[in-house]
Amino acid sequence: MQLNNPRQSARDLLRGSVSNERWEQNSKFLNRLRQRIGRHPVTQHPAIEALNNSKFDLEAIRQIHLEYRHAIVQIFTDALLMAQVQTKQLEPDLESGVKMYARFLLTLNTLDEFGFKPGVDSAGYYRGSALGAHYPLYEEVLDELGIGRIEREQYQPSEVSCKLRSFLESSYKDLSEVVSLLAAGERVVVLFSAPLRENAKTVGVDTSKGYYMVHGASDDDESEGDDDTHEDDLWYVLMQSLSSDQYANVEAMCEEYCNLWVHFWDAQMKLAENEGRVLVSV
């Protein structure tokens, strides 16, 4: 049994668990879907340029982080864990035990999210700390932004933030739906994390540690960001699990989820502009 290169090993097992015809058919569909997501208006949203040029002031960045927290950060690992549970839907169509290949690959993502680190500690056991989980690290960013515990818990999120959260939560019952939305969500995270990191740094957040060293710092040799790899893992799970009768639904859900992210960033831009907290011209 090969214990090295666990990510590639799991991907190879996924590939070998289904017929060549199914794998190739799913690969072609998902390549088209990824290209479609790559052309979606969210990828060219003016908020990206505004954030990259640090056009949002402190109050606007505070608001954005509270909105983002509600829309995705608080429930991201919930969705990952639900995806692991719903791999049970692979049985009995595939051989017994095959669901564990997808669970193994998803677990690598979950370990990163939960604060584990590659390697072993001085006792030869796993390395990591729950304090390094991405959600607590995000809460530390809110601390740096001066957002108190009472303020964040009493915050009333916008309608679109609530819609984004509900849309992802509504997918939990179905493996193909939750994994496809997680994959699309990772694409949005990759697009916006680096710009968010840049603007957050400008208003005083220490981006040399914590959340912004695992998000938005893929080009930094000192970073621990792994968003691209996580997205690829999710597409691999779909290449195993999808059947052709699910294509239309998966495509429609990814399109709607990306549309909601456009509305989300529209709302952040509009509110900030109306309150004079961002320059309209970027």
Q: What whole-number distance in Å separates Cα of residue 242 and Cα of residue 29?
A: 10
Residue 279 has pLDDT above 70, yes or no: no
Which domains, from first to last, does the chain contain?
A: 6-274 (1.20.910.10)
**pLDDT one-digit tens code per residue, 152-199:** 999 999 999 999 999 999 999 999 999 999 999 999 999 999 999 999
Q: In this structure, how many other beta carbons lie within 10 angstroms of the beta carbon of residue 60?
A: 23
% of residues, the chain, pLDDT over 90: 81
**Alpha-carbon gap, residue 79 to 240, rounded angstroms:** 19
pLDDT for residue 271: 76
Interval 1-29: pLDDT, tens? 777 889 999 999 999 999 999 999 999 99
In this prediction, residue 130 has a pLDDT band, given cuts at 50, 70 and 90, of very high
Query: Could you report how far apart the first and last alpha carbons of the chain are, in Å?
Result: 55
pLDDT digits (tens, 9 = 90+) for 221-276: 443 545 568 899 999 999 999 999 999 999 999 999 999 999 999 999 987 776 66
Quote the pLDDT of residue 174.
Answer: 97
pLDDT, the chain, mean: 91
Whole-structure pTM value? 0.92
Output the six-digit token pair for 281: 């011209």
Q: What is the mean pLDDT of residues 133-149?
A: 96
One DSSP character per residue, 43-111 reads GG-HHHHHHHTT-B-HHHHHHHHHHHIIIIITTHHHHHHHHHHHGGGGTTTS-TTTHHHHHHHHHHHHH
At 215, the pLDDT band (50, 70, 90 cuts) reads confident
In the chain, % of residues over pLDDT 70: 92
pLDDT bucket at 282, cuts 50 / 70 / 90? very low
Tokens of 173: 């019952």
What pLDDT does 96 receive? 85
Mean pLDDT of 105-119: 93
Pairing relation of β-strands 126-128 and 116-120? antiparallel
Residue 151 makes CB contacts below 8 A (sequence gap 6+) with none
Rounded CA separation 280/218 (Å) = 29
pLDDT (tens digit per residue) in 26-51:
999 999 999 999 999 999 999 999 99
CA–CA–CA angle 193, 183, 233 (5° rounding): 105
Alpha-carbon gap, residue 82 to 170, rounded angstroms: 11
Angle between helices 58-68 and 134-144 (to 10 degrees): 160
pLDDT value at residue 95: 85
